Amino acid sequence: MDLIAPTDRGLYCEAGDFHIDPWRPVSRAVITHAHSDHARFGSDLYLCHPLTAPILRRRLGDVAIETADYGEVLTRNGVEISLHPAGHVLGSAQVRVARNGEVWVASGDFKLEADGVVAPFEPQRCNVFITESTFGLPIYRWRPQAETMAAIESWWRENVAAGRASVLFAYALGKAQRLLARLDPSIGPIVCHGAIEPVNAIYRDAGIIIPPTRLVTEVADKSELRQALIVAPPSAAASPWLNRFGDYSDALASGWMQVRGNRRRRGLDRGFPLSDHADWSGLLAAVEATGAERILATHGFTGPLTRYFREKGLDARALQTAYGEEDEAAPGAESAA
């Protein structure tokens, strides 16, 4: 019997009687991170990293939460459970499950490049590795973070010189804070959408240095907006909220911007390929580092990724889940595989 198996409620460890990132209510949920496709309302108890807990409470309300630090081992019915850095967003974790010498790791979402904001990915040796495959195509290969940040800053400076606002769309949890922590605040004032500012506060409380930001309602002198960087979730695109900024240039920071056609279809002025998910090379490197002989790929381009590993002699197949509904999930990626 597999140590972790798919069910209609989520990935289930029967021996330990817990689910990992369940998509329906369960008794005990082990959560890799607080994005809405991995942490859903209704479970009786949530286990997560301490830095994930305040985000969960903000999203889910007054729920029962148990926390465990990275590397701390909890034992349930003879099954060892521990959380390890995934490098995705604040508090994100891989879930290591071990019993009688057999080790499985459910990675959740992860990236390999250390961003200087959240704890970097730490590979775990295992027999079976459950990996995401959001960007599981060879076309997706990220440039170093510093290059992308420099390109965003150059765009912002160009807009300041032209007297127009810079509207940068980024996912409210993780991507927005990564950008804010790495961009040069001396270029101009920074304004954040109401969906982003509360998450900024949680990051600051965790000790992450984020420059001063304001809501647009807190900007008394509206002429400042012509020099401002406005950070907003993708859902704000084409909304009346943007009307207050007058002349502006807009851009999206997302891995999908690697393909120029995606920027054109969205009607954006610019696209910056920046992702909190592993690219093709990162996925391959992560799997190799685990030493796993069995690979289960979830949410994304599972077909190409599992085919690659099978050609390398590994036991690899797709694992159907309900993940991938956040900002960087490509509609139809599973079927496109």
Phi first, then psi: what are they for 64, rounded to 5°? Answer: -80, 125
Model confidence at 324, pLDDT cuts 50, 70, 90, reads confident
pTM: 0.94
Reported as a pLDDT band with limits 50, 70 and 90, residue 331 is: very low
Per-residue buried b or exposed e for 225-255, using 16+ beta carbons within 10 Å of the residue's own CB? bbbbbbbbbbebbeeeebeebeebbbbbbbb
Which DSSP letter does residue 69 get? -
Query: SS3 for 22?
Result: coil
8 A C-beta contact, residue 34 and residue 91: yes
Measured distance CA(289)–CA(269) in Å, rounded: 39
Give me the chain's average pLDDT, please: 94
Cα 226 to Cα 6, 41, 234, 274, distances in angstroms: 51, 40, 21, 25
Domains parsed from the chain with CATH numbers = 5-140+276-336 (3.60.15.10), 145-272 (3.40.50)
Which tokens sit at 114? 């250390």
For 120, which DSSP code?
Answer: P
pLDDT > 90: what percent of the chain?
91
Above 50 in pLDDT, residue 233?
A: yes
- Tell me the C-alpha to C-alpha distance, in Å, between residue 5 and each of 18, 138, 179, 222: 11, 29, 36, 55
Alpha helix (H) ranges present in the chain? Answer: 53-60, 145-162, 175-182, 197-205, 260-266, 280-290, 302-311, 333-336
Q: How is residue 2 written in tokens?
A: 């597999």
Cβ pair 173, 89 in contact under 8 A: yes
Strand partners, 93: 85
pLDDT in tens, 50-82: 999 999 999 999 999 999 999 999 999 999 999
Would you say residue 151 has pLDDT above 90?
yes
Label residue 154 exposed, middle or buried (CB < 10 Å: 0-12, 13-18, 19+).
exposed
User: In the predicted model, is pLDDT for residue 127 greater than 50?
Assistant: yes
Sheet holding 79-85, edge to edge: 73-76, 79-85, 93-99, 102-106, 128-133, 294-300, 315-318
